[in-house]
Structure 1
Amino acid sequence: MTSSLLLAVLASGFIYGITPGPGVLAVFGIGAARGRRAGAGFLCGHLLGDVVWCSTALIAIVGAREIGSSAFDVLGVLSGLYLFWLGMRAIRSRRSSGDAPQGAARQPFWHGIMFGLTNPKAYPVAVATFTALLSSRAELLQWSMLPWLIFLSFLGGVLAYAILIGIVGARRVRTLYQRHELAITRICGVMFIGFAINALLHAVPGLLANKS
């Protein structure tokens, strides 16, 4: 496994874990209501869901690569379009007052497990994020690497959650996040569009070459 592939998998797990979404919003709500320890418990439980969905996504990505370059390129195009759609939604998002995070969960750890495993957006976002960042190194992916890919994505997620745990209990950070939540979401939308363009730039030429 090359150093560039290693860093790409670590970055994928980190970005998947730290970008604003239902889980990040929930942990900030729990941290605001019950403090850093409750937020850490929620994230530790949520990490199980991340491992399941990231592992499933990596299996699909490696499987598509082993089937053939065309299958991986199709997956790359679909992932790129999905990330572009997510990015545009984030850029156009508006502050909502109806979906308050469940900060009053009595058992944050078990709440995090259920939250992580039942999030319907987890799998497609994981597939799209990993495909976008790994598309330039697709030729290196093999089944024998799968355990290491899963482990590295797990490490990336742990690093992301360590940062979140460190800041969730800080009043100034929490206030800053809540005040600028919309701007942060839109910045992440721009980042998703960048990943989408990266995925499409690597996938579309491969499909056109196979057709010709």
Structure 2
Amino acid sequence: MSSSLLAGTFLAALAYTLIPGPAFLALLGIGAGQGRQAGAFFMGGHLAGDILWSALALVAIIGAKTIGTTFFDVLGVICGLYLGWIGWSALNAKPKDGGGALMAVERPLRRGLIFGLTNPKGYPVALATFTALLAGSSDALEFSGLPMLLAVSLLGFLTADIVLIGIIGAGVVRRFYRRHETVIVRLSGLLFIGFAVQALWHSAPSLFGYRRA
């Protein structure tokens, strides 16, 4: 397996994780509000989704038949409802007694796991990112090399996670977040609801037999 193929896979995993999205906003709130340890637990759970979607993307790129659209339509509806619930919770969050974080997450590992497996950017963005960075080496892609590609992807995910955890736990980031926490949480809530509407708009019509013109 060529070094260019491995490098492209690593960079694709790195870019996939660092692209801002719902998980990034959630990590910002958890890490800045509750510290690096909570952020690390969240990213640890989210890693399961990163591996799943990158594996499906690599399988599709290598040449296997892609999963039918019904699976992703169902996932989109579930994801939309989940993100909508988080957004509504953020919009209605009340300040905690004693100055605690406005949106404290009691189980960041579980939150990260759910987020990773229902991430609306999951498969499409993974497919686009890996395709863009592996296009030049597409002739060398084979199923026999899939385990190695997944291992390199895992290394890319972990590297990106370390970068993000370092950023959100920095003192200047935490101080800025706590100073403007209410505004940031409310705006994040609106964004989550926007992501939810987008997910439902693209998934529900197809799932129930309707096709937009």
TM-score range, shorter chain: 0.5 to 0.7
Tell me how many residue pairs correspond in the alignment: 150
Which amino acid letter does the alignment assign opposite residue 45 of structure 1? G
- Name the structure 2 match of 1:33: 33
**Residues 108 and 128 of structure 1, relative CA distance in 2, 3 Å threshold:** same
CA distance in 1, matches of 2:106, 2:114: 13
Q: Per-residue deviation at 1:41?
A: 0.5
Conserved 8 A contact 2:33-2:174: no
Q: CA deviation at 1:121?
A: 2.2
Name the CA shift for 1:3/1:34 in 2 (closer, same or farther; >3 Å): same
Q: Shift of the alpha carbon at 1:173?
A: 3.7
Structure 1: tracts of 5 or more residues without a match: 68-96, 182-212
- C-alpha deviations, 1:108-143, integer Å up to 9, x for none? 001100011011321100000000111111111011
1:129 and 2:129 equivalent?
A: yes
Q: Counterpart in 2 of 1:45?
A: 45
Give CA-to-partner distance per residue, 1:38-73, whole Å, 9 cap, x none. 011000000011001111111111115xx8xxxxxx
- Match of 2:172, SS state, is helix
1:146 corresponds to = 146
Cα 1:98–1:59 shift into 2, 3 Å: same
Task: Write the mapping of 1:47-196 to structure 2, written as runs, cut at 5 A.
Answer: 47-63=47-63, 103-173=103-173
Q: In the superposition, relative to structure 1, how do residues 177 and 129 fare at CA in structure 2: closer, same or farther (>3 Å)?
A: farther
- 2:177 & 2:131 partners in 1: Cα distance? 29
Report the equivalent of 1:12.
12
Contact 2:51 2:154 (8 Å CA) reproduced: yes
Residues 8 and 133 in structure 1, CA contact (< 8 A), matched pair in contact too:
yes
| TM-score (norm: length of structure 2) | 0.63
Distance (whole Å) between structure 2 residues aligned to residue 139 and residue 61 of structure 1:
11
**Any idea what the Cα deviations from partners look like across 1:147-167, whole Å, max 9, x if unmatched?**
111111111010000111112
Q: CA deviation at 1:177?
A: 9.0
Distance verdict in 2 for CA 1:103–1:59, change over 3 Å: farther
- Counterpart-to-counterpart distance in 2, 1:53 and 1:175: 34
Q: What amino acid is the match of 2:37?
A: R
Partner of 1:24: 24
Distance 2:34 2:120 in 1: 26
1:165 aligned partner, one-letter code: I
Q: Which amino acid aligns with 2:24?
A: V
In structure 2, runs of 5+ residues without a counterpart are 66-86, 92-101, 185-213
Q: Tell me, in whole angstroms, the C-alpha distance in 2 between the residues paired with 1:53 and 1:168.
A: 24
The code of the aligned residue for 2:59 comes to: I
Q: Distance in 1 between matches of 2:25 and 2:109?
A: 16
Q: Distance in 2 between matches of 1:143 and 1:109?
A: 32
Q: Identify if the C-alpha distance between structure 1 residues 103 and 19 changes in structure 2 by more than 3 Å, giving closer, same or farther.
A: farther
Residue 175 of structure 1 and its aligned partner are, at CA, apart by 6.2
Contact residue 61 and residue 127 of structure 1 kept, 8 A = yes
- C-alpha contact (below 8 Å) 2:32/2:173 kept by paired residues: no
Structure 1 residue identity aligned to 2:3: S
Q: Distance in 1 between matches of 2:171 and 2:40?
A: 16
Letter of the structure 1 residue corresponding to residue 41 of structure 2: G
| Residue identity (%) | 49
How many angstroms apart in 2 are the aligned matches of 1:27 and 1:162?
12
